[in-house]
């Protein structure tokens, strides 16, 4: 990211604010990884009262410039997927402190979270071959990194959904500053490592985004197509990062156009439905 995001989406509704009439769900808390920086938790949301069958899961990674944020920032999306027959996993990951953790460690955490979800497929009644990963901004970088840099198949998601994503970071001075001097940043940039056989992906972004510019986002999409992978790029006019209206600063507190935000996540819904992850 060119500049540090102080926060993320304006509408980070806590679970307690769920509207009446939405589906019943169960929330559980687990430690999915023990790291030198401490234990990392994953929050799992499963449907209650729906048929018990192998379900698809979506693992959600929050944004925040790799330096701020917490899993609760992703809870606002829980109902959207649980109510349509999916299980939602929202993991914590290590935030960059320029001392003990960088985006490299956060990427490792993303892979560990995917692997943990797949390992516990039977426990949560999941289809271990339908583990999607969704992320926005820096969280999209982690979701993409899990797909591109995975050391084994168990760490790799089966479908990718990106919102205002940081997919090519070689020209991102903020990202570079999170590593020790001299670190080859291209080693951590998903767009530079696209190859055949990656999961299908949908990318939704604003045309005037100044934080994760369209030119950089497009590199990942173009290389996906060149490699023979499935990639859908939806560019929305009139908005910048996280659907902040064009003309307003989009590098700090997002002020999304709610109609466009709904349109964007609707496109992701359609992609999930088309690939057999989400009920209609």
Fold of 26-274: Rossmann fold (3.40.50)
What SS3 class is residue 46?
strand
Per the CB < 8 A criterion, the answer to whether 137 and 241 are in contact is yes
Q: Which of 198, 251, 248 is nearest to 223 (CA)?
A: 198
Alpha-carbon Rg for the chain in angstroms = 17
Chain segment 142-187, per-residue pLDDT in tens:
999 999 999 999 999 999 999 999 999 999 999 999 999 999 999 9
Lowest mean pLDDT, pick from 130-134, 136-140, 248-252: 248-252
Domain residue ranges in the chain: 26-274
Mean pLDDT, range 73-77, rounded to an integer: 97
Asked whether the whole model's pTM tops 0.75, one would answer yes
Strands 55-61 and 126-136: parallel
d(CA 59, CA 43): 10
Mean pLDDT, range 5-13, rounded to an integer: 35
- Please give the pLDDT value at position 50: 84
- Please give the pLDDT value at position 231: 98
Residue 257: Cβ within 10 Å count: 19
Residue 63 burial by Cβ neighbours in a 10 Å radius (0-12, 13-18, 19+): buried
- Please give the pLDDT value at position 11: 33
- Laid out side by side, the sheet with 126-136 consists of 25-35, 38-47, 87-91, 55-61, 126-136, 159-163, 201-206, 231-236
Local confidence band at 15 (pLDDT 50, 70, 90 cut-offs): very low
Chain segment 210-241, per-residue pLDDT in tens:
999 999 999 999 999 999 999 999 999 999 99
Say if residue 63's pLDDT is above 70: yes
Computed over every residue of the chain, the mean pLDDT equals: 92
Local confidence band at 98 (pLDDT 50, 70, 90 cut-offs): confident
Mean pLDDT, range 125-147, rounded to an integer: 98
- Please give the pLDDT value at position 280: 86
Local confidence band at 3 (pLDDT 50, 70, 90 cut-offs): very low
**Which helix or strand (DSSP H or E) is residue 26 part of?**
strand 25-35
Local confidence band at 22 (pLDDT 50, 70, 90 cut-offs): confident
């Amino acid at each position: 990211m060119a500049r540090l995001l102080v926060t993320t989406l304006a509408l980070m509704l806590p679970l307690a604010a769920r509207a009446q009439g939405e589906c019943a769900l169960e929330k559980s808390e687990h430690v999915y990884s023990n790291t030198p920086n401490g234990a990392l938790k994953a929050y799992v949301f499963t449907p209650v009262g729906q048929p018990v069958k192998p379900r698809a899961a979506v693992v959600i990674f929050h944004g925040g410039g790799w330096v701020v944020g917490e899993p609760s920032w992703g809870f606002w999306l829980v109902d959207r997927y649980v109510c349509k027959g999916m299980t939602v996993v929202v993991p914590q990951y290590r935030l960059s402190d320029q001392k003990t953790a960088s985006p490299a460690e956060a990427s490792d955490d993303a892979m560990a979270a995917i692997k943990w979800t797949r390992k516990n497929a039977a426990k949560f009644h999941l289809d271990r071959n339908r583990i999607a990963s969704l992320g926005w901004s820096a969280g999209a970088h982690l979701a993409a990194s899990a797909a591109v840099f995975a050391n084994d198949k168990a760490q790799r998601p089966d479908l990718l959904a990106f919102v205002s994503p940081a997919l090519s970071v070689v020209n991102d001075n903020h990202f570079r500053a999170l590593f020790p001097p001299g670190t080859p940043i291209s080693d951590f940039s998903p767009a530079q490592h696209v190859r055949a056989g990656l999961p299908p992906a949908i990318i939704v972004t604003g045309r005037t985004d100044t934080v994760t510019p369209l030119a950089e986002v497009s590199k990942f999409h173009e290389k996906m197509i060149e490699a023979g992978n499935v990639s859908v790029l939806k560019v929305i006019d009139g908005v910048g990062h996280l659907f902040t209206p064009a003309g307003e600063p989009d590098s700090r507190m997002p002020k999304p156009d709610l109609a466009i935000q709904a349109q964007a996540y609707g496109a992701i819904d359609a992609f999930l439905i088309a690939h057999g992850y989400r009920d209609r």
